[in-house]
Structure 1
């Protein structure tokens, strides 16, 4: 499967349960067509998780037939919050709950384990970067975009001139914790939604699976106690809701309608900060039947307030290949670092590269 003699980068997508891996050649071809997953072992702590990432690395090279000496760099993404250089938040996170993870430098640990340069991005940034490059293709380096990734929380990314905007502490694109106007978004008798981070009225407090379970579904089921989901345990009810939405269930559409309006308000804020060429929506909410995901994306676009000049040039689209977007996006990020290093390499006397 490998391309004889062509250097590559490897992309590793670390998740709460699985690691996925891909290989990208320096001339821009992915050598893995689908998921190539193994258990991530993050629940066993950092040391076990780094070993699992190393196994994923070895496995994808064996799968593609690429020799190790052709690997120029490795891209790694993990769930956040984490710093721009891959240090997990000192407060931990949903996926890294053990105390040993708090403040752990996962990028450096993997770099030492593999003996190769490792480029880090959080999973929302990686998915945003992949969506940007797939959507714009050859024009990617001349375009900008924002992406909102709806999952357990709400992640995302800002891409400018084809590159992720990381920010001073690596927290740029943390759209989940941007406050949005609640007037007209929640019902008059609906309590102001509270995020797991403690904020009231941020985007994640409405547009996330956690928000459905904690804030939205309890309110709507209290108004409609006859609904079948009222008999379900809350976590299960939240996970079942999308199926009801796909079938046109009115209560489910009310809940997802609130989420779409929240994303529209979030993108309205983004429009006035970055004025991007494209707005991407990803995550489980759009990994659904075509009619539902088209309805949801149209609702997001409808509630994104743009000036006429912006509306004329902006596009709304879904993040493609959601399960592969993380590994592929961080591979793209690693490839950009490799290319930049090649351009910056000093010349030896006589014009040869160092």
Structure 2
């Protein structure tokens, strides 16, 4: 597996239940083409979680046969909210709910534990970066993209010239909390959706698993009172909607049409700010049967309003390798950081 004597960087994707790890050689080859996971231990607190990340690194090195001394840097991603430097929000987050996590410097703690430089991105940024480099290949460092990653919330990222745009406070790419016009997106009697962040009418309030459970499904079940999902708990029903959508169910397709339209309106706003070369959609909503994910992406495209000149050059695509995208994305970021701002060149070969 390992490439004899070739230095590497390791990508670590931290989640609420598991850590996934990958290895990228400095000449741009991934040595892992599968999930290499262990429990993340995040609910046991920061100390246990940092130990688990260190074990994930050791495990993927053993898996690939790469000696520890060949590791030059590490990339880490976690769910947000967190600063660009890897400090968890002072209010905590869904995955980091224990008080000890509030304001915790997860990047710095891992760097001290491993005695290696650690580069940090949130998981949405990491997936966006990976999608960008896979799609553009040799042209990645001279292209731009915007990604929307649909999960429990809505994450994403803005990539310019092959690098994530972080912003002054590290909050760039928080696309879920961009407000979108709701005219003709909602049904005439449908309430304005509320987001868990306190906003009303942002993208995440429509395009997320939480939005399905709290906002969309209650309304649409009122229109389809005899639907089988009416007998399920709200949380379980929300997770079952995609399966119905794959089978062409009217209620489910109505929900996902609203989600796709919301993402299309987000991309319309992005087109007038960044005018990217590509728009990517990722997350659980597109980890589905081919017909459904193609329909969903086409619906996003239909609701993205571009000028003729933009439409001629813009691409719409899905984020590949969803479960591996985070670890791979931060491995790419770590390799770029290791290069130290040298002349841009493709990361992946």
Q: TM-score, normalised by structure 1?
A: 0.96
Structure 1 equivalent of residue 49 of structure 2:
49
Separation in 2 of the partners of 1:183 and 1:303?
Answer: 13
Distance 2:168 2:79 in 1: 18
Q: Which stretches in structure 2 are left out of the alignment for 5+ residues?
A: 344-349
Give the RMSD, CA atoms, in angstroms: 0.8
- In the other structure, the counterpart of 2:130 is 130
1:275 aligns with 2:278: no
Query: Which residue is 2:39 aligned to?
Result: 39
Q: CA deviation at 1:297?
A: 0.1
> Secondary structure of the equivalent of 1:295?
helix
Q: Distance in 2 between matches of 1:223 and 1:290?
A: 28
Q: How does 1:58-207 map to 2 (within 5 A)?
A: 58-207=58-207
Secondary structure of 1:21's counterpart equals strand
3-state SS of paired residue (1:38): strand
Question: Aligned partners of 2:102, 2:165: CA distance in 1, in Å?
Answer: 24
Distance 1:341 1:304, change over 3 A: closer
Secondary structure of 1:259 counterpart: helix
Aligned-partner SS, 2:75: strand
| Unaligned stretches of 5+ residues in structure 1 | 344-354
Q: In the TM superposition, what is the alpha-carbon distance from 1:339 to its structure 2 partner?
A: 1.3
- Within 5 A, what are the aligned runs for 1:295-314? 295-314=295-314
Give, in whole Å, the separation in 2 of the partners of 1:186 and 1:122: 30
Alignment partners' CA distance in 1, 2:341 and 2:312: 37
| Deviation readout 1:24-58 (Å, 9 max, x if unpaired) | 00000000111000000001111111000000000
**What is the aligned partner in structure 2 of residue 227 from structure 1?**
227
Residue equivalent to 1:332:
332
The structural deviation recorded for 1:67 is: 0.9
In 2, the alpha carbon distance for the partners of 1:98 and 1:185 equals: 37
TM-superposed deviation, 1:264: 0.3
Shift in Å, 1:340: 2.0
Helix, strand or coil at the partner of 1:4 = coil
- Find the residue that maps to 1:185 and give its secondary structure: coil
Kindly provide the CA deviation profile for residues 72-123 of structure 1, in whole angstroms up to 9, marking residues without a partner as x: 1000000001000000001111110011111000000000000000000000
Displacement of 1:2 in angstroms is 0.6
Report the 3-state secondary structure (helix = DSSP H, G, I; strand = E; otherwise coil) of the residue aligned with 1:19: strand
Give SS of 1:265's match.
Answer: helix
Q: Residue deviations 1:160-180, cap 9 Å, x none? A: 000000111111100000000
Counterpart for residue 249 of structure 1? 249
Distance 2:146 2:308 in 1: 19
Whole-Å Cα distance in 2 between the matches of residues 237 and 113 of structure 1? 42
**Given the superposition, is the C-alpha separation of residues 122 and 293 from structure 1 closer, same or farther in structure 2, using an over 3 Å criterion?**
same
In the alignment, the residues of structure 2 paired with residue 219 and residue 48 of structure 1 have an alpha-carbon distance, to the nearest angstrom, of 42
1:341 to partner: Cα distance: 5.9
- 2:340 and 2:278 map into 1 onto residues whose CA distance is 25
CA distance in structure 1 between the partners assigned to 2:175 and 2:42 by the alignment? 25
Q: Say which SS state the counterpart of residue 84 (structure 1) adopts.
A: coil
User: Secondary structure at 1:90's aligned position in 2?
Assistant: coil
d(CA) in 2 for partners of 1:150 and 1:33? 23
TM-score (norm 2): 0.97
Q: Match of 2:340, SS? A: helix
Mapping 1:209-224, distance limit 5 Å: 209-224=209-224
